[in-house]
A and B are shown apart, each in its own frame.
Chain A
Amino acid sequence: MDFSHSLKLIAPEETLSIAGLVLLLVAAWAGDKAARAISIIAVAVLVGVSFLVAPALCSGAMGPDTVAFLGQYRADAFASFAKLLIYLAAATSLMIAPQFFDRFNAMRAEYPILVLFAALGMGIMVSATDLITLYIGLELNSLAAYVLAAFLRPDARSAEAGLKYFVLGALASGILLFGMSLTYGFTGTTNFAGINAAISGGLSHGALFGIVFMLAGLAFKISAVPFHMWTPDVYEGAPTPVTTFFATAPKVAALALTMRVAIDAFGSQSDAWRQIVIFASLASIVVGALGAIGQANIKRLMAYSSINNVGFMLIGLAAATMQGASAMLVYLAIYVAMSLGGFIAILMMKDGDGEPVEDIAQIAGLSRTRPGLSAALAMIMFSLAGIPPLFGFWGKFVVFQAAVEADLVALAAIGIAASVIGAFYYLKIVKVMYFDEPVDVIRGKSDWAHQFLLVVTALFISPLGYLLTKWLGGLADAAATALFLAA
């Protein structure tokens, strides 16, 4: 495996690093005046690297040709699927940011650069096939994310969110590192394939603890119960464009990483971690649903909704089959669209002075004053609840199908019955918008970028999305095959 081949495989990461560093220099000289220009360039860079990673997915790249740096890194179809979602989500969070930050005079040049570095870290995470690569990617992403959470410096809530995220994130990293060290100690290697081979004969107690701690650390990153406590606070406190980012890109990266670790590194002992995943999944569904019911702040509600959705995705992981992995990827793609749409709609909720509105009571009767916005938000809510014919149903459908195919009928039945609890709070938003008397608080205008992106996401989750099922399923199947081939 020669060096130039490896360098070619990591072309997206190289591009992102160089672009990030150059833009950092530009930001240092040009200052915040150039923030908008830097944002536009950053979006262009993200779109550009998307074109760099897309071929691997479309051709279903897998096997030894995709391995770089002696098994440290893998640029296969799976990584490429996740990266496309990450870059897309990151680009969207950049596009919706300027209008929000301008109001607080806080549109700093660092914002797009931090997002670029976070995207770089996430790209490394999903491609990692070695514990060390994994950790580098994870921390690169996390460090950028901590700063982003606290980006609205004058706002105490934002600072609090950043601090909380940092302290708890550091704790999770510690747990993860501890698990990694145990795994290394008991298997003698940091390479995923090596670990998998070492534990295929049997699992020592030490290695089992390694698995448990690593999954606990990763559960924190994907905000699965019981490691979800930070999510509502961070989602609420962080500036809304940053929350949009947190709810989408890092979620994709962390879930893809969890899949990679579970399948490629611990795949030969799937019975050892299946119970943990099943517990986390059901607990996330139930806690996410129950926790959301009492929320008055729509961003907190979306945080619980994301916990709930992670639970559904973990059902696919519990299946530990190719169909399960493919279903998770389909769900992730739909979930990213729903979250982006949901947060864009939240960004568009502004009162007459342009002040953001996050209180659910303030959007009462929105359907009378802003029919388009409320119709889009209602669609997103029904879609998140998994009601057909909206596209959110398809995500749940494939995940439960995979679970049933893997003979986890009881898990599927309990999970889907619990999803009815979740439907309650999504309905609440629709009820407030459609059934209640208008309070007419939302009067602010939104710029065309928000409207355009909202229309795009709404069309994607509309029944028209079903026309994409074959295409999306085919890509996800290719990615899942690549994941399992590496195992």
Chain B
Amino acid sequence: MGGFPILSLMLLVPLVGAIACLFLDARPARTVALVATLIDFVLGVVLWANYDIGGAQWQFTERTEIFAGFSYALGIDGIALMLIMLSVFLMPICIGAGWTSINKRVGEYMAAFLLMEMLMIGVFAAQDLFLFYIFFEAGLIPMYLIIGIWGGDNRIYASYKFFLYTLLGSVLMLIAMLWMVNETGTTDIPTLMVTDFAPAAQTWLWLAFFASFAVKMPMWPVHTWLPDAHVQAPTAGSVILAGVLLKMGGYGFIRFSLPMFPEASAQFAWLIYALSMVAVVVTSLIALVQNDMKKLIAYSSVAHMAIVTVGVFAFNTQGLEGSMIMMLSHGLVSGALFLAVGVIYDRLHTREIDRYGGLSINMPHYALFFLLFTMASIGLPGTSGFVAEFLSLAGIYQVSTWVALICTTGIILGAAYMLYLYRRVAFGEQKHADAAAMGDLTLREYLMMIPLALAVLWMGIYPESFLAPMRADIQALDARIARAAPESDSKPTPGKPQAAVHTVSEVGHGATPAAPEGVH
């Protein structure tokens, strides 16, 4: 792709679309938004197709020195590529999710979403520390407006909580960034990724970055903004929040915390494990007793994100690959689940689980899709969730069997709350006449569900497509952090293979030196 600035173009398309939407009426605004997101999706496909697996670590790089103090530098590696793909894939679906349910201030709504898309791509593509920060923080404004204007009854509380929580986390990171730049004299992320900071300084820097990413992630106990924000946000807002915004935290850990501060990461790995273990179990139990569908899925997101953090801080390739696949899979699955909630919310205008029941009778196709995504969330083999959970847990098992054990408990609890949710919504008798009268999926809803379902199955059956672009980057990262990797608690002793029970024909070779240990 030579010098063609495709990343800038991907930023420009939604920006232009957003500005156009501000001045348009409802119908044209919807069309413009859909067209802009679809163009960006096509550009994303072009990006992926032209990404040279096994080529340079940073591809499609652009650099212009138009600002003082930092540069406009873009570029992606395989990790960023996958997350950008996730964003551009989910965006048209988000626009579709608000197609009919958003009736007031449509232009502003579409503009806010397109701005979000631009900022998310910017976060993943930024190669300059401060450019990253600007994109990272700027997302607060459109998200604040999306929750506050188009949210539910308690939207104002939720919007404040979302904004102030994430802002407080991020400003400390800014100070850490300023310190790093002052120390090294560069704002270039690839350079900083191979810079060794003094271990004492790493501790503070790591904590400052942790403050930001832990809130964004969100990790227990700073996760409380998430259920509020999710419940109050419109469907598409939830999809984008769960689908992409939460990934910024995980991306931050992988891009910054691990390679820039490996020693501190190892030092705090147990903090991460502890918080993640608590999160997996506690939030799963909380999810089990929720009566609000969105809240249930929101808490399940926290639990899944805890698996991501455990995988990231497992300090091995399986863990890292698992956490990346978990982020992609969770982006698709939780997005799809929020969408599934949105479908019935649009019909009955309630998220209360008790108000539904027996939907498999009157909405069989809907029930089928919902079942697929429920299974993917649980991690059934064949869906993306299985690959993600398997790899992450395999990664952490190599470090600590106990952490793996407790995290696996969370998976079982996950099966419990998801199946329980599905049973109450889709099975059982049709208690309420209005719920029983709801029609099945419309064409628009099919168009949103089918791509998600296909992607979930694709990632579950052939994850290599998604792992291949990231493999080299994850191995490079693993090599960089290997020196600090925490010791495994398993201490496996090499087993003593039993002497082979030789068949008669082999007796003649019995004394070959090929199996010396086998000889007792």
Q: Could you list which residues of chain A lie within 8 angstroms of chain B, going by C-beta atoms?
A: 368, 382, 387-389, 393, 397-398, 400-401, 404-405, 409, 412-413, 416-417, 419-420, 423-424, 427, 430-431, 434-435, 466-467, 469-470, 472-474
Contact = CB atoms under 8 A, between A and B. Distances in A.
A435 B154 CA distance: 11
B144 A427 contact: yes
In the A-B complex, the 5 residue pairs with the smallest Cβ-Cβ separation, listed nearest first, are A473-B68, A469-B68, A388-B134, A404-B178, A416-B171
Interface stretch (B157-165, B339-347, B498-506): B157-165
Contacts of A423: 163-164, 167
A398 B160 contact: no
Contacts of A405: 178, 182
Contacts of B437: none
A413 B149 CA distance: 32
B138 A398 contact: no
Contacts of B130: 397
B133 interface: yes
Interface in B366-402: none
Given A423-B164, A427-B160, A427-B163, A416 B182 contact: no
B137 interface: yes
A467 B68 CA distance: 9
A384 B66 CA distance: 24
Contacts of B144: 427, 430
23 contacts: A368-B105, A387-B140, A397-B69, A397-B174, A400-B178, A401-B178, A405-B182, A409-B179, A412-B178, A413-B172, A417-B171, A419-B171, A420-B164, A420-B167, A423-B164, A423-B167, A424-B160, A424-B164, A427-B160, A434-B149, A435-B149, A467-B66, A469-B69
Given A387-B140, A389-B134, A413 B175 contact: yes
Contacts of A427: 144, 160, 163-164
B148 interface: yes
B106 to A, nearest CB: 13
A474 B68 CA distance: 9
Given A413-B172, A423-B164, 16 more contacts: A387-B137, A387-B138, A388-B134, A397-B69, A397-B174, A401-B178, A401-B181, A412-B175, A417-B171, A427-B160, A430-B145, A431-B148, A435-B149, A466-B67, A469-B67, A473-B69
Nearest to A471: B68
A147 to B, nearest CB: 41
A467 B67 CA distance: 6
Contacts of A470: 66-68
B168 interface: yes
Contacts of B163: 423, 427
Contacts of A420: 164, 167-168, 171
B156 A417 contact: no
Contacts of A412: 175, 178
Nearest to B137: A388
Q: Contact size class for B?
A: 20 to 34
Contacts of B145: 430, 434
A482 B133 CA distance: 32
Contacts of B137: 387-388, 393
Contacts of B181: 401
Given A434-B148, A467-B66, A469-B69, A404 B175 contact: yes
Interface string B51-72: 0000000000000001111000
Contacts of A387: 137-138, 140-141, 167
A420 to B, nearest CB: 5
Nearest to B72: A466
A388 B138 CA distance: 5
Contacts of B179: 404, 409
Interface in B404-428: none
Contacts of A431: 148, 156, 159-160
Contacts of B133: 388
Contacts of B105: 368
Contacts of A472: 68
A77 B246 CA distance: 48
A208 to B, nearest CB: 32
A111 to B, nearest CB: 38
A469 B174 CA distance: 18
Given A423-B164, A434-B149, A393 B134 contact: yes
Interface string B198-232: 00000000000000000000000000000000000
B155 interface: yes
B203 to A, nearest CB: 13
A401 to B, nearest CB: 5
A475 to B, nearest CB: 11
Contacts of A435: 148-149, 155-156, 159
A5 to B, nearest CB: 35
A423 B155 CA distance: 18
A36 to B, nearest CB: 35
B140 A416 contact: no
A423 B156 CA distance: 15
A404 B182 contact: yes
A392 B518 CA distance: 74
Contact of A401 (B69, B134, B159): B69
Contacts of A368: 105
A413 B179 CA distance: 11
A430 B168 CA distance: 19
A387 B141 CA distance: 8
Most chain B Cβ neighbours within 10 Å, of A401, A417, A419, A430: A401
Given A435-B155, A470-B67, A400 B167 contact: no
A423 B135 CA distance: 18
Contacts of B141: 382, 387
Nearest to A414: B175
A412 B134 CA distance: 18
Contacts of B148: 431, 434-435
A405 B182 CA distance: 6
Contacts of B156: 431, 435
Nearest to A434: B149
B152 to A, nearest CB: 12
A389 B118 CA distance: 12
Interface in B9-35: none
Given A393-B134, A431-B156, A435-B148, A416 B69 contact: no
Contacts of A416: 171-172, 174-175
Contacts of A466: 66-67
B68 A417 contact: no
A400 B174 contact: yes
Nearest to A330: B68
Nearest to B140: A387
Nearest to B168: A420
A393 to B, nearest CB: 7
B445 to A, nearest CB: 29
Contacts of A389: 134-135, 138
A469 B67 CA distance: 6
A388 B64 CA distance: 19
Interface in B96-138: 105, 130, 133-135, 137-138
B78 to A, nearest CB: 27
B464 to A, nearest CB: 38
A227 B4 CA distance: 57
A229 B179 CA distance: 35
A467 B64 CA distance: 12
Contacts of B160: 424, 427, 431
